[in-house]
């Protein structure tokens, strides 16, 4: 099970470039249930996500580059690109801060994954986080890829 909360970002940290990051490209083969392919740096994955917002099933399976390219041709909608920065938090948590590329330039989303629902519910976000959009399906990457309900 994946337990995470998602936030818009009011301002990017000034030292963002000093944190480790990944270059991500992802596309969706299906959105209900979510079936996604992802290239993260030089690694490739097929992911299944169940229904839900803060708590949902997630399964990741490895792919090779050839399989990824083959499946990418079958993807629907927008192929998302983003840079994901990894910022440490107290308690062993990590902020995954996504800086999106075209057509979503200027969209910054932070996700924090938790070991349990209690930790997720008691989380106090850093001051530079904005609105909590955990329960807004408009900010799911699968929705963004479809170009539906594009957030402003």
Residue 23 in 3-state DSSP?
Answer: strand
Reply yes or no on whether 59 is catalytic: no
Backbone phi, psi, residue 78, to 5°: -80, 135
118's enclosing H/E stretch is: helix 117-121
CA-closest candidate to residue 142, choices 3, 10, 31, 20: 31
Classify burial at 88, counting beta carbons within 10 Å of its beta carbon; exposed 0-12, middle 13-18, buried 19 or more.
exposed
Residues acting as catalytic residues:
28
């Amino acid at each position: 099970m994946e337990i995470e909360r998602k936030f818009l970002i009011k301002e990017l940290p000034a030292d963002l470039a000093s944190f480790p990051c990944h270059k991500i490209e992802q596309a969706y083969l299906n959105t209900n249930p979510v079936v996604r392919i992802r290239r993260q740096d030089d690694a490739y994955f097929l992911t299944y996500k169940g229904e839900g917002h803060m708590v949902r099933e997630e399964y990741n399976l490895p792919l090779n580059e050839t399989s990824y390219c083959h499946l990418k041709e079958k993807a629907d909608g927008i192929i998302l690109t983003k840079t994901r920065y990894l910022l440490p938090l107290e308690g062993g948590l990590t902020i995954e801060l996504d800086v999106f590329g075209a057509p979503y330039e200027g969209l910054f989303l932070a996700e924090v994954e938790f070991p349990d629902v209690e930790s997720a519910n008691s989380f106090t976000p850093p001051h530079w986080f904005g609105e909590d959009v955990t329960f807004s399906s408009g900010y799911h990457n699968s929705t963004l890829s479809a170009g539906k309900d594009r957030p402003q």
